[in-house]
């Protein structure tokens, strides 16, 4: 199971958003065996002067998202959304993918 979360952030808020999200990802990885995370900022010349697009990747290795000790996605999403909402320039978009 992979979850890709993307949203836009004003450039002046990018550093605190990245720091906050990294902290949440590290804490959740410590709590959940098999959870792998990544964090990206879109590298596109059309975005250099406007809001940045941030992409969070949450990946459960081997489908462990449904394991008994894994928290529901809504808990993780709610926590990260609450921590970053004030800095966002629009909505968070969450997309779920499974390996084909």
Residue 25, pLDDT score: 96
Three-state DSSP class for residue 34: coil
Name the residue among 92, 91, 87 with its Cα closest to residue 10: 87
48-99 per-position pLDDT tens digit = 678 999 999 999 876 555 555 567 788 999 999 999 999 999 999 999 888 7
**Separation in Å, CA 40 to CA 8, 17, 18, 62, 67:** 12, 12, 9, 23, 27
Listed in sequence order, the DSSP H helices in the chain are 14-31, 73-84
Pairwise pLDDT comparison (100 vs 48), residue with the higher score: 100
> 40 and 57 in contact (C-beta within 8 Å)?
yes
49-58 per-position pLDDT tens digit = 789 999 999 9
Residue 99, pLDDT score: 77
What is this structure's pTM?
A: 0.86
């Amino acid at each position: 199971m992979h979850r890709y979360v993307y949203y836009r952030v004003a450039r002046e808020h990018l550093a605190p958003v990245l720091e906050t999200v990294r902290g949440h990802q590290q804490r959740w990885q410590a709590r959940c065996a098999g959870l792998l995370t990544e964090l990206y900022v879109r590298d596109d010349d059309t975005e250099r002067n406007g809001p940045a697009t941030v992409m969070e990747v949450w990946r459960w290795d081997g489908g462990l998202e449904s394991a008994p000790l894994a928290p529901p996605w809504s808990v993780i999403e709610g926590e990260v959304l609450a921590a970053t909402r004030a800095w966002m320039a629009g909505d968070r978009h969450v997309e779920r993918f499974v390996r084909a």
